[in-house]
Each structure stands twice: as structure tokens, then as C-alpha cells.
Amino acid sequence: MKNREKRPESISIAPLRVDVHSHLLPALDEGSKNVEESLELILELRNLGFQKLILTPHIMAGFYPNSPNKIQQRLLILREYLEERNIDIEIEAAAEYYLDAFFMKELLSKNDLLTFDSEDGKKYLLFETQHLHEPKHIFEAIKRIVRKGYTPVLAHPERYNYLQRDRLLVHQLYETGLLFQVNINSFSGYYGNAARELAEYLSVAQMVSFLGTDCHKQEQIEMLQKTMASPMYATVLRAGDILNNRV
């Protein structure tokens, strides 16, 4: 006990037990194509230490017309496939919503949204936006999401050009109560230098609430293995209040 008190720096960092962003439900978006590929990628993520995966297919009008019903059905199929093979990992489903007029008018107003939930009852709503320009009415959208009782989580803020060039906007968004989910692979430059720089900035500023693999395919697993073994990744885990293990 004495030793532990004297050496706080030796307290080990809790590894990520939960991933909150991936495209491993088969054949719903541009991620995994079939259950066999899902199984392979899920085994790789389990080897990286994940015990629970929140699978988040895209929902985007005109491109990925996935519904909660369809996603839940696909989850049951994949769960059964894993259970038959005695794969010991927990899988749940939410979604990565694309923020547009369809989302606001059709999905949010009907309240039929998939979320991942915290132990204390928070409903985290993961959404993405267009990459180049600040989405019109994003502040109003966040307000409405919050008013509906959800906690909005922006998927990979570091990857959007409009945030890479505007740190003030990053802070203004964060101050609304919006949480940021940063992709683990951003820290090794997988999405480019500007994304890496913003990911590091967010980590140092303690503005990273969730980390995600955003895993679609094998190539990203190889990068995750490298990133998660790096000293820089240990620094990221230490830097802020990462909520992954509380969902």
C-alpha cells in the first residue's frame, strides 16, 4: 500500500475495454461485407483488448437507408453467429447518423434513434457531418438533440476540414455540451497530418470524451495495432476523462 501511495505514476492506465464506433455489422454500409469478415475483424479487436463493441452502421438518406429495425435484426444474426463459435465478446448496436435535413426532420423529430447508453442513463447519440464546410444550423441541431434528451457525440471531429482550420469553432461546439469521439488511428496520421494535429490538440486540451476504432477493414486493424502500442497512445489514455469503459 505504501509503495502505491508513493508512486502515483505507476498506477496503470485502464485499457480501453469498450469500442464505441465501428462498421462491423455485415453488409449495411461500406464496412464489413459478410459475417465471415465481421468475425475476423471482431477477433482482431478482441486481441487488442476490447471486450465490448458498439457497432455503428451509417444512417444517411440516399446512401445508407438503415433503420433501427434493420440494424437490430442484423445484430441478432451476427450475435448468433459469434455465439455458435463461442466467441466471447459483447456486441451492441447504435448508429452513426449523418447530420442533414433528413436527420433533423425525419429521424430526430420521430425520436426513433439508436444510441449507446451510460451506466447512469445518458443516451449518447453519435453523428457525423459533411467534411468541408461547417454544416448550416449545427448549433441549432445540437440544441434540438439535447432538448430531446440525448447527449450528442460528434464522430471524429479531427477529420473535418472546417474544424481543422478553426480552433475557435472547436471550442464553441464543445461548450454547447457536444462531446468529441476521436478515432484512435488519427493519432498516427492515418487520416493525414491535419487530423493528427487536431486529435493531439483535443487530447492535450482534455476534450476527448470517447475514442473509437471506426473500424471498417483489415488495413485499419494493422494501424490500430501500431497506434495502440505506441507511447503516444498511453499519453492519450492518461490525458483526459475517456468515457468508453462506462458504457
Cβ-in-10-Å burial (0-12, 13-18, 19+) of 147 comes to: exposed
- Closest approach of Fe ion to the CB of residue 96, in Å: 5
d(CA 194, CA 189): 8
Residues 29-88 that bind Fe ion (CB under 5 A): none
Q: Find the angle CA(99)-CA(201)-CA(56) to the nearest 5 degrees.
A: 35
String of contacts with Fe ion for each residue 156-195, x by CB under 5 A:
----------------------------------------
CB nearer Fe ion, residue 130 or residue 235: 130
CB nearer Fe ion, residue 131 or residue 238: 131
Cα distances (Å, whole numbers) of residue 180 to 7, 129, 143, 175, 196: 31, 13, 16, 11, 15
- Closest approach of Fe ion to the CB of residue 88, in Å: 25
CB nearer Fe ion, residue 143 or residue 217: 217
- Closest approach of Fe ion to the CB of residue 95, in Å: 10
Kindly report the number of other CB atoms within 10 A of residue 15's CB atom. Answer: 14
- Closest approach of Fe ion to the CB of residue 159, in Å: 10
d(CA 13, CA 240): 11
4 touches 10 (CB < 8 A)? yes
Residues 81-140 that bind Fe ion (CB under 5 A): 96
User: With contacts defined by CB under 5 A, how many residues of the chain interact with Fe ion?
Assistant: 2
123 touches 151 (CB < 8 A)? yes
- How many angstroms separate the most distant Cα atoms in the chain? 61
CB nearer Fe ion, residue 96 or residue 100: 96
- Closest approach of Fe ion to the CB of residue 22, in Å: 7
CB nearer Fe ion, residue 158 or residue 214: 214
- Closest approach of Fe ion to the CB of residue 155, in Å: 6
- Which residue has the closest beta carbon to Fe ion? 214
- Closest approach of Fe ion to the CB of residue 146, in Å: 22
Residues 196-215 that bind Fe ion (CB under 5 A): 214
Q: Find the angle CA(244)-CA(55)-CA(138) to the nearest 5 degrees.
A: 75
CB nearer Fe ion, residue 96 or residue 158: 96
CB nearer Fe ion, residue 143 or residue 216: 216
**Using the rule CB under 5 A, is 19 a contact of Fe ion?**
no
Q: Please, what's the b/e burial string for 165-192 (b: 16 or more CB within 10 A of its CB; e: otherwise)?
A: eeeeebeebbeeebbbbbbbbbbbebbe
Binding site residues, Fe ion, CB under 5 A = 96, 214
